[in-house]
């Protein structure tokens, strides 16, 4: 994978996560704001805290920071996988988000790599 291919993949991921959060905020009537600068997506849920996604080009990783901790994901050909345990990013992101928000969240379906 080239740096450019990695950045395209990250951009597609962040676009889809941002759209997911917008839909989630409407569906669950959440206080949610998102802002994006380059490869960093900040999700602010008011009193429930922030979630931050960003890319690390040097290691070709997607990083997630939330109240429950920091997590790293590598592209595995068809999905981002947690570098500790191999869980798919989309499922793990929803789990982390639901825990932080204290509610059930619908699945995140990412269409990537094609």
| Sequential pLDDT tens for the chain (114 residues) | 899 999 999 999 999 999 999 999 998 888 899 999 988 999 999 999 999 999 999 999 999 999 999 999 999 988 999 999 899 999 999 999 999 999 999 999 999 876
pTM comes to 0.93
Query: Which residues, 6+ apart, have CB-to-CB distance to 47 below 8 Å?
Result: 31
Whether the CB-CB separation of 81 and 89 falls below 8 Å is answered with yes
- Distance of alpha carbon 60 from alpha carbon 74, whole angstroms: 7
| List of domains in the chain | 3-101 (3.30.920.10)
Measured from the Cβ of residue 99, the count of other Cβ atoms closer than 10 Å reads 13
């Amino acid at each position: 994978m080239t740096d450019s291919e990695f950045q395209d993949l990250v951009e597609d991921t962040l676009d889809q996560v941002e759209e997911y959060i917008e839909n989630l905020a409407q569906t669950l009537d959440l206080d949610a704001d998102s802002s994006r600068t380059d490869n960093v997506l900040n999700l602010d849920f008011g009193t429930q805290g922030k979630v931050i996604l960003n890319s690390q080009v040097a290691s070709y990783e997607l990083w997630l920071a939330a109240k429950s901790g920091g997590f790293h994901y590598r592209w595995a050909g068809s999905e981002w996988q947690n570098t500790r345990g191999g869980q798919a990013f989309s499922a793990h992101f929803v789990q982390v988000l639901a825990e932080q928000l204290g509610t059930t969240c619908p699945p995140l379906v990412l269409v990537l790599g094609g």
